[in-house]
Amino acid sequence: MKTLSVERIKEKVINGERIYPEEALYLWENADFVTLGNLANFVRKKFHPDDIVTFVVDRNVNYTNVCIAGCKFCAFYRRKSDEDAYVLDMDTILQKVKELVEWGGTTLLMQGGINPDLPLEFYEDMISQIKKHFPQVQIHCFSAPEIVYLSKKEKLPIEEVIRRLKKAGLMSIPGGGAEILSQEVRDKISPGKCTVEEWEEVHRTAHRLGMTTTATMMFGHVESIEHIIEHLERVRKIQDETGGFTAFIPWTFKKGNTELDFVEEATPTYYLKVLALSRIYLDNFKNIQSSHVTQTMQIGLIGLHFGANDLGSVMIEENVISSTNFKVRIPKVEEMVRAIKSAGFIPAQRDTYYNIIKVFQ
């Protein structure tokens, strides 16, 4: 490889050439904040020359908060013996989906804890009931750790678990549970969760079975920039192989009621730099999401100038981040549209698969 320089790496990116881990690290350490943002914005424009910024209308239903993983960053989970531990009954879940439909939503995001009392049949029945009553809803549910745990609990291959869930009506899988795809980091913050290789296997398998998934990254805790680049390299490699990821969604750890409350939270500058590096590095991802939920709408909008082309969700419900000290404010559709326009972009509502439903001129 030629001698590393910011100018040489910029030239590669502008020419559409792939950069590699050592170049990403060099760019991070030597390019200034504005250069990173401008380069990421250049890549965004290559994928999205129309300056359309998308969002989805969805609901995040947490069917249970009982979890045995014990992740140190999580303020949401409860032990089975806790007074506020719960498993939602089917009528409650269906009512929540009904409200989503009445609200004009298209996507049901459903995740829970790793609850040892719930068999695979519980998940199959839940999905099939939702599909039966609300066939128009796109069912985007369950994270890799949930699927891996079901595989072990039921003594079934991961592929068989996904096949059964798909048959019941599961349409796509969110990227939750990735955190940082470096085993060194996972051993520190989520030792009770699936391994890096297991997370990767779930997504590769889903793609092979014709399902799309998203790739996520939760950062700003105990990781280094080298760990972040390892994560980006891993998801880029899977995307090279399968093309099954619809988007990359990075967000930051929020403290409050967690075992990582001693950690200094990531600054908005750090968030925007990681967002920009992600856009530059993931040359095979069409969509990158900016997080207004963990960053506030103001920073979320700046993220649109640091490589993102999607502003996530107008959510009817959010429980996980809200369990921390961070006060989540979810905008209404008209507020989201107004915000995107104020940042100089054209707002558009999308579905789970990033198909545009409506453009707001």
Residues annotated in a binding site for (3R)-3-methyl-D-ornithine: 143, 291, 313
In angstroms, rounded to a whole number, what is the distance separating the alpha carbons of residues 266 and 255?
Answer: 10
In angstroms, rounded to a whole number, what is the distance separating the alpha carbons of residues 41 and 276?
Answer: 8
Phi and psi torsions of 28, nearest 5°: -60, -45
Q: Which residue ranges make up the annotated binding site for [4Fe-4S] cluster?
A: 67, 71, 74
Q: Which amino acid is at 208?
A: R
In angstroms, rounded to a whole number, what is the distance separating the alpha carbons of residues 146 and 203?
Answer: 13
Q: Which residue ranges make up the annotated binding site?
A: 67, 71, 73-74, 143, 179, 291, 313
Q: Which residue ranges make up the annotated binding site for S-adenosyl-L-methionine?
A: 73, 179
Bridge partners for 248 per DSSP? 215, 288
Bridge partners for 173 per DSSP? 213
Counting Cβ atoms within 10 Å, is residue 121 exposed (0-12), middle (13-18) or buried (19+)?
exposed
Cα dist from 361 to 53, 226, 310, 353, 358, whole Å: 12, 41, 16, 22, 9
DSSP helix/strand/coil, 55: strand
In angstroms, rounded to a whole number, what is the distance separating the alpha carbons of residues 131 and 26?
Answer: 48
Angle subtended at Cα 214 by Cα 211 and Cα 215, rounded to the nearest 5 degrees: 130
The number of residues in the chain equals 361
Rg of the chain over all Cα atoms, to the nearest angstrom: 20
What b/e sequence results for 223-254 when a residue is b if at least 16 CB atoms lie within 10 Å of its CB, and e otherwise? bebebbbbbbebbbebbeebebbbbbbbbbbb
DSSP helix/strand/coil, 105: coil
E strand or H helix at 114? none
In angstroms, rounded to a whole number, what is the distance separating the alpha carbons of residues 281 and 272?
Answer: 14
